[in-house]
Structures are given as C-alpha cells and as structure tokens.
C-alpha cells in the first residue's frame, strides 16, 4: 500500500530542474507533497485531488494522473533552499476524505551551488 517514489536521491546544481515521481498500486483520492529538512518537521507543499489537476506555486508544481495512480512533483530552477527529502503522502479512494495518509520512503534532493 505504500507508494513508491523515484528516484531515491538526486544531486543538482543550483538552477537545474528535477522531477519526483510517486506511484501507487491503489486507486487514489488525493496526493499530498511534503518536504523535510534534516532534523526538522515535514513541511506541506501542496495537495492534489483526483481529477488530474495540476497545481503550483513559485517554481514548484505538481500533477496527479488518477488513471495511472501517479503524481509528479516538478522543481524548476532549483534553489539551495530546495534541498531536503521530499515525501508524497497518498490517500486511497476507499477512504476518501479521511486524511489518513500513507507516505512513501522519500526522495533526497541535494542542491549544490
């Protein structure tokens, strides 16, 4: 039931782009994205609901393909502050709206100057 995230780790230079993928074996009601820096709390980035919507703010955007049960997070022109571990949290359709999230193992992003 745990979603699979890929890649597991990426190293970028400042200004480069990255894509983080999240796939589930179950039909999904929603996907959440969070970023966690070492020793800190996970911080909310965005929520996507079923319907194939795409959301974004600043240079971070995401898409949700309900049919493929996949979501992707797009980081454009990465900044040093983007470094951290990115988690997707999925909510299966069978419990739509319950807020109980199942998180992937995370993708560690390192942005170097």
Partner 1 sequence: GAGVSQSPRYKVAKRGQDVALRCDPISGHVSLFWYQQALGQGPEFLTYFQNEAQLDKSGLPSDRFFAERPEGSVSTLKIQRTQQEDSAVYLCASSTGPYNSPLHFGNGTRLTVT
Q: Which stretch binds partner 1 (CB under 8 A): 13-21, 44-52, 62-70, 71-79?
A: 44-52
58 scored as a contact of partner 1 (CB under 8 A): no
CB 43 within 8 A of CB 35: yes
Which of 26, 27, 8, 32 lies closest to 99 in space, CA to CA? Answer: 32
92 scored as a contact of partner 1 (CB under 8 A): no
43 scored as a contact of partner 1 (CB under 8 A): yes
Pick left, alpha or beta for residue 19 (phi over 0 → left; psi -120 to 50 → alpha; otherwise beta). Answer: beta
98 scored as a contact of partner 1 (CB under 8 A): yes
Looking at the Cβ atoms of 13 and 100, the one nearer to partner 1 is 100
């Amino acid at each position: 039931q745990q979603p699979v995230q890929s890649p597991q780790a990426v190293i970028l230079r400042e200004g480069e782009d990255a894509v983080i993928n999240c796939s589930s074996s179950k039909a999904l009601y929603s996907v959440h994205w969070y970023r966690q820096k070492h020793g800190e709390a996970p911080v909310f980035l965005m929520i996507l609901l079923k319907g194939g919507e795409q959301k974004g703010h600043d240079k971070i955007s995401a898409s949700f393909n309900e049919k493929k049960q996949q979501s992707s997070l797009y980081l454009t022109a990465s900044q040093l502050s983007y470094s951290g571990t990115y988690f997707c949290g999925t909510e299966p359709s069978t419990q739509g709206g319950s807020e109980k999230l199942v998180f992937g193992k995370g993708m560690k992003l390192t942005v170097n100057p």
